[in-house]
């Protein structure tokens, strides 16, 4: 009888250890995912501001605390890269270790204007314009990171001249060359409609006009 009690205690101890181990692993995994989500939400808030009037134009580049960088082409891809990096590196997850955007970046405003942003200070000024316009409300939280993203190819009206772009690299280079030649105060390049946008679930929608683009943005704010 004494032996039976001893084996019972040993078995309970083993079960307890097993459950404790699983719980720790789960907490570790959830911690990385939550931290990745928090990092991405912070980046998005840094760009869209309270009024959610701007959108990333992907791809963007992010930098980690070890000075390594990664190019990402969607919020889903961003989540994967941030999670993978923190799972592979023994780094405490804190505000100081969150990845950061690498400038310059391109953003799209509600009027279909494409804006090249060189610095964090310039981005804050741009968000200030949104605030003065008084547009919108906060966007979706959690994993509803974005509203939509542009699908290439796209066409831009640059100083009255229509140019077509098959990918983001040529698109970005043209915008930067235009800004370098004509200065920061030059008219912003504008999208030529119709354009195609893609939602988080992969659904694509053709947007026929600037007014429809604004309507989609409003729908995102309310979603």
Number of domains in the chain: 1
pLDDT (tens, 9 = 90+) of the chain, 223 residues, equals: 544 444 444 433 433 344 334 433 433 444 677 777 777 777 766 665 555 678 888 889 999 999 999 998 887 888 889 889 988 988 887 888 889 999 999 988 877 888 889 998 888 888 777 655 544 434 333 344 557 888 999 999 998 999 999 998 898 889 888 888 888 778 889 999 999 998 877 889 999 998 998 888 777 766 5
Beta strands in the chain (DSSP E): 54-56, 60-63, 69-72, 100-102, 105-109, 114-117, 149-151, 154-158, 161-165, 190-191, 195-198, 204-207
Which domain covers residue 18, as residue numbers? 2-222
The pTM (predicted TM-score) of the whole model is 0.66
């Amino acid at each position: 009888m004494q032996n039976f009690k001893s084996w019972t205690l040993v078995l309970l101890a083993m079960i307890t250890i097993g459950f404790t181990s699983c719980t720790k692993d789960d907490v570790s995994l959830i911690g990385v995912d939550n931290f990745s989500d928090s990092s991405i939400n912070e980046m998005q808030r840094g760009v869209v501001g309270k009024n959610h009037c701007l959108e990333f134009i992907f791809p963007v580049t992010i930098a980690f605390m070890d000075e390594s960088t990664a190019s990402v082409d969607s919020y889903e891809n961003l989540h994967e890269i941030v999670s993978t990096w923190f799972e592979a590196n023994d780094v405490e997850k804190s505000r100081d270790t969150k990845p950061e955007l690498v400038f310059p970046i391109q953003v799209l405003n509600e009027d279909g204007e494409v804006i090249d942003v060189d610095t964090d200070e310039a981005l804050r000024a741009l968000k200030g314009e949104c605030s003065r316009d008084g547009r919108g409300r906060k966007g979706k939280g959690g994993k509803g990171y974005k509203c939509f993203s542009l699908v290439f190819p796209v066409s831009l009206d640059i100083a009255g001249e229509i140019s077509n772009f098959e990918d983001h690299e040529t698109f970005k280079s043209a915008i930067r060359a235009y800004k370098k030649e004509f200065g920061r105060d030059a008219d912003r390049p504008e999208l030529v409609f119709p354009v195609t946008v893609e939602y988080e679930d992969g659904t694509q929608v053709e947007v026929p006009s600037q007014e429809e683009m604004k309507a989609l943005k409003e729908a995102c704010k309310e979603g």
